Amino acid sequence: MAARCITQTKESVVTRLLIYRGYSAASGKSKKAKGDASSDGPKVSSLDKEVKSTTTVGANILKDGVDPKVMADSEYPDWVWHLLDKRPALSELKRMDLETVPFDLLRRYCKLENRARIKAGNVLKSKK
């Protein structure tokens, strides 16, 4: 019996042991070490530069849809260009004359003032 064990390969003994214990056999792939340099490099995109420059990659929200094409600036509505404009904070709105501000800023002032009032009430309730 001892001579038979010596002639067996290590992998066959491990496989037999794993089958006996009920575990699955390890695959031939070894796990990568934590300091493996191959996983630290930048990810290379599989899309070519032409596709990246003509479509908005990842903007599709439909299951069967496609990514939208990039259009010329003149084809977009005017409101798109104002989406990233800075809006005044509550402290700036308090300093303005509320009789002369536009309606959208007045509505923003009411919303921010109401939010601040609710937060102040919540702080008072939590201290009790």
Write b or e for each residue in 54-86: b if 16 or more Cβ atoms lie within 10 A of its Cβ, otherwise e. ebeeeeeeeeeeeeeeeeeeeeeeeeeeeeeee
pLDDT at 59: 85
90, 111 in Cβ contact below 8 A?
Answer: no
31 occurs within a structural domain: no
Q: What is the pLDDT of residue 55?
A: 84
Per-position DSSP letters for 14-54, written without gaps between them: HHHHHHHHTPPPPPSPPPPPTT-GGGTSPPPPSS-HHHHHH
pLDDT at residue 3, as a whole number: 42
Q: What is the largest CA-CA distance in the chain?
A: 101
Is residue 38 situated within a structural domain?
no
Return d(Cα 16, Cα 10) in angstroms, integer.
Answer: 10
Whether the pTM exceeds 0.85: the reply is no
Asked whether residue 95 is assigned to any structural domain, the reply reads: yes
Does residue 67 sit within a domain? yes
58 occurs within a structural domain = yes
Residue 106 pLDDT: 94
User: What's the domain count of the chain?
Assistant: 2
Does 99 share its domain with 71?
Answer: no
Domain housing 113:
90-127
pLDDT score of 58:
83
8 inside domain: no
Sequence-distant (≥ 6) Cβ neighbours of residue 56 within 8 angstroms: 67, 68, 69, 70
**Contact by Cβ (8 Å): 113, 90:** yes
In the prediction, which pLDDT does 1 show?
A: 41
Whether residues 69 and 94 fall in one domain: no
Local confidence pLDDT in tens for the 128 residues of the chain: 444 444 455 555 444 544 555 555 555 555 555 555 555 666 666 667 777 778 888 888 888 988 888 888 899 999 999 899 999 999 999 999 989 999 999 999 999 999 999 999 999 998 87
